[in-house]
Amino acid sequence: SQHMETHGFQTEVKQLLHLMIHSLYSNKEIFLRELVSNASDAADKLRFKALSDDSLLANDSELRVRVAADKDAKTITISDNGIGMTRDEVMQHLGTIAKSGTAEFFSKLSGDQAKDSRLIGQFGVGFYSAFIVADKVTVRTRAAGADASDAVEWVSAGEGEFTIASIEKAKRGTDIILHLRDDAEEFLDNFRLRGIITKYSDHLSIPVEMPANVSDDEEQKQESWEAVNSGQALWTREKADISDDEYKEFYKSVAHDFEDPLLWSHNKVEGTHEYTSLLYIPKRAPWDLWNREQQSGIKLYVKRVFIMDDAKQLMPSYLRFVKGLMDSNDLPLNVSREILQDNKITRAMRNGSTKKVLSMLSKLAKDEPETYQEFWDTFGNVLKEGPAEDPANQEKIAGLLRFASTHNDSAAATVSLDHYLERMPEQQNKIYYIVADSYEAAANNPALEIFRKKGIEVLLMSERIDEWLMSHLSEYKEKPFQAVTRGDLDLGDLDNEDDKKQQKKVEKDFAKQVKRFKETLGERVKDVRVTHRLTDSPACIVTDDDDMSTQMAKLMEAAGQ
């Protein structure tokens, strides 16, 4: 081969390789899922590109992936006739990690192998998982449309560097040759390979083929191949014919997760707009849940043709933890991100799926409160972005929220607004809450004294996002929210006539003192008032209804405003 060059991996790739080899030893088989899924992606990309340029398919239009083991050479070869890669693409995709926030991700790893392997699972190991089983990987690839002499060979032992060279390759596509490590020879067994393929790749619409007969006649073996997977996209099948295990395995392969999903929903929508959606809620938060450029987990298909990953337009950002796909019957095959941006079909799919996810969560909350609590503890703070982002579904989202409360005096966020309403005395017409820096600060705020005395429940909020949430949530089931630290607190019908008379008297008695306080504090305060909220503390600071709360003021200050 000519023009051989040696390059170093990006630091993050080295870290990933090292970690992967040390933490995924009990999960070795996933390398095949990742490499076959890349081959299938390569076929999808070619099919999509060929829609506008069918010369790319040349005379090789039956897209497929082949997996073969060679017992003597101790290699496994995964070979596809998909889109292939140019030299630049090889450099970029097989030498760096394109995901933003990768360095931060690595800094979170603990050294505890069980924990790290879960994190790595969520991170998605992709191509590099080849090194879990191989101590040398050769990639030979020729991009669709490129000449046979314009192919590229990439070789690496996964130890810091790789070589890249120009080669001849007779056919379009990519061959990946894994030189197995001694402790990975189990994968030379055809029966084992077949098992892994049916487990992870059965749903792929592209055929995954293996040598047809296990005869010793080498000639014959080379020539006949048979599909090992059923080759029908899972979401196109009837719900009744799909087992829970199939749904779970499908999830693991679309979400690159090691664990089962928490729940899922598979829907065929008919009518004005026709589409199928298969939506999953993971058990664990992805590593980049709080990353601003976080990708959406929704893949878009049009009439079963894969169009794009990361279809942000199909799911609101506060549901960004949802994974899965949508397959439209109405969108054009040449749909672009720009078209998706403002499109009535996309909007209908997004609205429909949002409702689906919210109702799937409400149902879980009702039927399996403990599992729902698990969901809430993982993704609750993301869902709290909902009322601001999606006012139309505010009431539904509010019904899903969980808070700490004076009712059970515990920091655990387990109280729903419906629980609160059920316990509320008849004369009470507001939902009382407090937002503070911490649970302790909320629970010990003097403003709660009068509520505790009167036995009125107050929601105790202390997450960073809570102030933002409450500034967008004005009522639930027609009961307005009221911060107990704001303005003149009118307890309305909760105060009886005697209380009110007593309060008037106190205000009169203390008028002189109030005047002195005002004179002494001068410009530093807006007003000084007699309060009836406190039972033990002598004084407290409050804000006016239309002023920024002290919490919000702190947030703005922290943000440099």
Can you say which residues are annotated as belonging to the binding site?
34, 38, 80, 85, 99-101, 122-127, 174, 337
Report the residue number, 95 or 126, with the smaller CB distance to Mg ion: 126
Among 13, 16, 30, 42, binds ligand ADP (CB under 6 A): 42
Least separation, in Å, of the C-beta of 35 and Mg ion? 8
Tell the smallest beta-carbon distance from residue 275 to ligand ADP (Å).
24
Residue 245 Cβ, how far from ligand ADP at the closest point, in Å? Answer: 24
Q: Which of 316, 309, 280, 278 is nearest to 295 (CA)?
A: 309
Q: Minimum CB separation from ligand ADP for residue 34, in Å? A: 6
Which residue, 99 or 268, has its beta carbon nearer to Mg ion? 99
Smallest CA-to-CA distance from 126 within 4, 272, 23, 20 is with: 20
Give me the least distance between CB of 533 and ligand ADP, in Å please.
56
Of 15, 23, 174, 253, the one binding ligand ADP (CB under 6 A) is 174
Could you say whether residue 38 binds ligand ADP (CB under 6 A)? Answer: yes
Answer for which of 13, 63, 85, 340 binds ligand ADP (CB under 6 A) is 85
Shortest Å, Cβ 127 to Mg ion? 6
Q: State in angstroms the smallest separation of the CB of 41 from Mg ion.
A: 6
Interface size with ligand ADP, residues (CB under 6 A): 15
Task: Specify the 3-state DSSP secondary structure of 379.
Answer: helix
Annotated binding site for ATP: 34, 38, 80, 85, 99-101, 122-127, 174, 337
206 or 319, CB closer to Mg ion? Answer: 206
Out of 38, 141, 354, 416, the residue judged to bind Mg ion by CB under 5 A: 38
Token readout for 405 is 């409360």
CB-based contact 324:297 (threshold 8 Å): yes
Alpha-carbon Rg for the chain, nearest whole angstrom, is: 30
Q: How many residues bind Mg ion (CB under 5 A)?
A: 2
Tokens 């990309």, residue? Answer: 45
Q: Does 138 bind ligand ADP (CB under 6 A)?
A: no
Residue whose CB is nearest to ligand ADP in the complex, by number: 126
Site string for ligand ADP, 90-129 (x = CB under 6 A): ---x------------------------------x-xx--
Q: Is the dihedral of CA 114, 115, 120, 123 positive or negative?
A: positive
C-alpha dihedral, 111 to 117 to 123 to 124, nearest 10°: 140
Query: How far is residue 168 from each of residues 80, 153, 317, 407, measured CA to CA in Å?
Result: 16, 9, 46, 74
Burial of residue 8, with CB atoms counted within 10 A of its CB: 0-12 exposed, 13-18 middle, 19 or more buried: exposed
Q: Does 76 bind ligand ADP (CB under 6 A)?
A: no
Q: Which of 95, 101, 126, 380 binds Mg ion (CB under 5 A)?
A: 126
Instruction: Determine how many CB atoms are found less than 10 A away from the CB of residue 337.
Output: 13
* Selected binder of ligand ADP within 17, 24, 64, 82 (CB under 6 A): 82
Residues with Cβ within 8 Å of 310's Cβ and at least 6 positions away in sequence, in order, are: 295, 296, 297, 298, 299
How many Å apart are CA 233 and CA 276, to the nearest integer?
Answer: 12
Stretch that binds ligand ADP, among 82-90, 157-165, 194-202, 412-420 (CB under 6 A): 82-90
Least distance in angstroms from the C-beta of 336 to Mg ion: 23
Residue 422 CA to residue 406 CA, distance in Å, equals 15
CA dist 311 and 308 (Å) reads 7
**Binding to ligand ADP (CB under 6 A): which residues in 411-470?**
none
Q: Which single residue is written with the structure tokens 């090292």?
A: 18
d(CA 413, CA 381): 11
Q: In what order do the strands lie in the sheet with 173-180?
A: 2-8, 161-167, 151-156, 134-142, 173-180, 75-80, 65-70, 208-211, 225-227
Q: Which residues bind ligand ADP (CB under 6 A)?
A: 34, 38-39, 41-42, 80, 82-85, 93, 124, 126-127, 174
Q: Which residues bind Mg ion (CB under 5 A)?
A: 38, 126
